[in-house]
Chains A and B, each alone.
Chain A
Amino acid sequence: KAGVTQTPRYLIKTRGQQVTLSCSPISGHRSVSWYQQTPGQGLQFLFEYFSETQRNKGNFPGRFSGRQFSNSRSEMNVSTLELGDSALYLCASSSSYQETQYFGPGTRLLVL
Chain B
Amino acid sequence: QKEVEQNSGPLSVPEGAIASLNCTYSDRVSQSFFWYRQYSGKSPELIMSIYSNGDKEDGRFTAQLNKASQYVSLLIRDSQPSDSATYLCAGGGYSTLTFGKGTMLLVSP
Residues of A within 8 A of B69 (CB): none
| Interface mask (A38-56 → B, CB under 8 Å = 1, otherwise 0) | 0001111100101000011
Separation in Å of the A29 CB from the closest CB of chain B? 12
Is the beta-carbon distance between A103 and B44 smaller than 8 angstroms? yes
A90-112 interface (Cβ within 8 A of B): 90, 92, 94, 97-98, 100-106
Q: Specify which of A97, A102, A103 is in contact with B95 (CB 8 Å cutoff).
A: A97
Is the beta-carbon distance between A98 and B45 smaller than 8 angstroms? no
Chain A: interface secondary structure? strand
Separation in Å of the A91 CB from the closest CB of chain B? 9
Q: Specify which of B43, B94, B96, B101 is in contact with A106 (CB 8 Å cutoff).
A: B43
A73-92 interface (Cβ within 8 A of B): 88, 90, 92
A31 interface residue per 8 A CB criterion = yes
Is the beta-carbon distance between B102 and A98 smaller than 8 angstroms? no
A26-71 interface (Cβ within 8 A of B): 31, 33, 35, 41-45, 48, 50, 55-56, 58
Q: Please measure, in the bound complex, the distance between the C-alpha atom of A45 and the C-alpha atom of B100, giving whole angstroms.
A: 12
B interface, how many residues as a size bin?
20 to 34
Question: Which 8 A-B pairs rank lowest in CB-CB distance, beginning with the nearest?
Answer: A42-B101, A43-B99, A103-B43, A106-B43, A56-B96, A103-B44, A105-B43, A48-B95
Interface residues of chain A, those whose CB is within 8 Å of chain B, are: 31, 33, 35, 41-45, 48, 50, 55-56, 58, 88, 90, 92, 94, 97-98, 100-106
Interface residues of chain B, those whose CB is within 8 Å of chain A, are: 31-32, 34, 36, 42-46, 49, 88, 92-102
A/B interface sample: 23 pairs, CB < 8 A: A31-B95, A33-B96, A33-B97, A41-B101, A42-B101, A42-B102, A43-B88, A44-B99, A48-B95, A48-B96, A56-B94, A56-B96, A88-B43, A90-B43, A90-B44, A94-B95, A97-B95, A98-B94, A98-B95, A101-B46, A101-B97, A103-B44, A103-B45
